Amino acid sequence: MKKDQKYYGQVWFAEKEEKKEFCVLYFQDDDLFIETNLCSKRTVYKEPQILGVITGIGYITFIDCSIQQSSSGVAEMRMYKPEYTFIGSNHLINTVDLKFKEFSIVNDTIVKWVNFYTWYDSLEEKLIKKEIKDEYKIESKGIQLTVNHYLQYSSKRTELHISNKGSISFRLKEPVDVMEAIELYDKFQKVLQLVYGGSMKFSNFSFKCLSCDGRKSIYYNDKKLTKSTHTFVHTDYEKTKKELPKILNAVYSNTNFQFCLDKLLENFISKHSSHPKRFINSISAFEAFCKIYSGIEKYNLTKYIKNYKSIFKLIGEISDDDLKVFPNKIVRSRDYHIHSNLGNKDVFSDYDLLYISFLFDFVIAYLLLSEIKVSKSLLEKYVMHGKSVFIDMKRTNEILRRNPLIKP
């Protein structure tokens, strides 16, 4: 389905196939909407399932359709927003018992990650391209992932369009339902957040039907991991691929690693977080890591920071003198914002909390990846980017935000 087009067809309720109504499908802000005269006689806020046949698409099953707008009079009208949409070219999809073992998602973040410029060599009269089909296995979970980078062709009477496309494919030992498949895909998006710095909405989510062996599609508005408001570390795929087996195995099969990564990424997938809130999230993620990995039995944030002071010095270039007061000031600032200890003096300003939060995030990422023994060259990426944010960016923004009306 193209998001800039409208589609037309018929829809009906599963239990009343004889009553079909005309409908219009269209997208608005990545949500799919249905406008139709189809409505239930009883008062409802949403319909669990609506079926349909749409011209140019095929058979469609809409799930969890909330009513966005309704009107009555000579004719009744409803506007529905389905949470999930299932598309089949030759038959309706029974979503109740739906399971599959193979599925693929087109996400162009992979194109940016691979970072290859396809071009035409006019001297050799040859298209210079890069096609990738790299397989990674998580044996303990029976999962095989394939990272794909390929060319997509489309033509008009006078033009030929060639574009780079990227996708991630899953092949599973045991079949999974839709929500399990989405969870597996979300975990890969967390890998993208960690090693590339972001993700974007998929353009196609398809699976192989176990009953007819054909390809079917799913659409939903993926809001969870595609609204990153901050960038993390950017790596090139070719320079990272040797470390991917370790990272993927940790994300899919290491519960401790998963928990810490989820805590870390809270700051990168949340919207409009205040500086104190971001700081609190970072401290929470750091404490989670330390409780699991540090070996320090008794909870103590000061001890945790001192235990990893070498990493704080490495990324933040914090002097030994500053490190003597840094842990206690962090604790005071945390207690000021979490426990409302308003009597705490000498706490960090909101502006400082933002960059201290960044520092903690890079320290956590460095420590997490060290636990799975990735290469020093990859760890150096987090050191370099951490320095550029905590030192260079902070210094630049201090100059830009200086108010000449306030006396120093």
Q: Of 81, 60, 48, 49, whose CA–CA distance to 9 is shortest?
A: 60
- Residue 213 vs residue 86, higher pLDDT: 86
Closest among 345, 316, 322, 351 to 333, alpha carbons compared: 345
Least confident of 87-91, 290-294, 345-349: 345-349
- What pLDDT does residue 41 have? 80
Stretch among 40-44, 89-93, 228-232, 317-321 having the lowest mean pLDDT: 228-232
So what's the pLDDT on residue 403?
Answer: 53
Q: What's the pLDDT score for residue 349? A: 86
pLDDT of residue 396: 65
Query: For the chain, which residues make up each domain, given as ranges?
Result: 7-88, 100-219, 254-400
For residue 325, give the nearest of 350, 345, 299, 340 by alpha carbon.
Answer: 345
Confidence category of residue 221, pLDDT binned at 50, 70, 90: very high
> What per-residue confidence (pLDDT) applies to 398?
60
pLDDT in tens, 178-201: 999 999 999 999 999 999 988 899
pLDDT for the residue 212: 84
190, 288, 293, 363 from 261: Cα distances, Å: 8, 10, 13, 12
- Mean per-residue pLDDT for 340-360? 86
**What does the pLDDT read at residue 232?**
77
- H runs (alpha helix) in 100-139: 109-114
Tell whether the model's pLDDT for residue 234 goes beyond 90. no
Q: In angstroms, rounded to a whole number, what is the distance separating the alpha carbons of residues 291 and 295?
A: 7
> Does the pLDDT at position 377 exceed 70?
yes
Residue 224 has pLDDT above 70, yes or no: yes
Mean of the per-residue pLDDT values for the chain?
Answer: 90
pLDDT confidence bin for 340, thresholds 50/70/90: confident
Q: In the predicted model, what is the mean pLDDT of residues 32-61?
A: 91
Instruction: Find the angle CA(250)-CA(108)-CA(144) to the nearest 5 degrees.
Output: 35
* Whether pLDDT at 316 is above 70: yes
Phi, then psi, of 364 in degrees rounded to 5: -60, -45
Q: What is the mean pLDDT of residues 217-222?
A: 94
Which one of 138-147, 154-163, 269-278 scores highest in mean pLDDT? 138-147
Residue 358's SS3 state is helix
Q: What is the mean pLDDT of residues 229-254?
A: 89
Per-residue pLDDT, 260: 95
**Which among 328, 321, 369, 374 is positioned nearest to 347, based on CA atoms?**
328
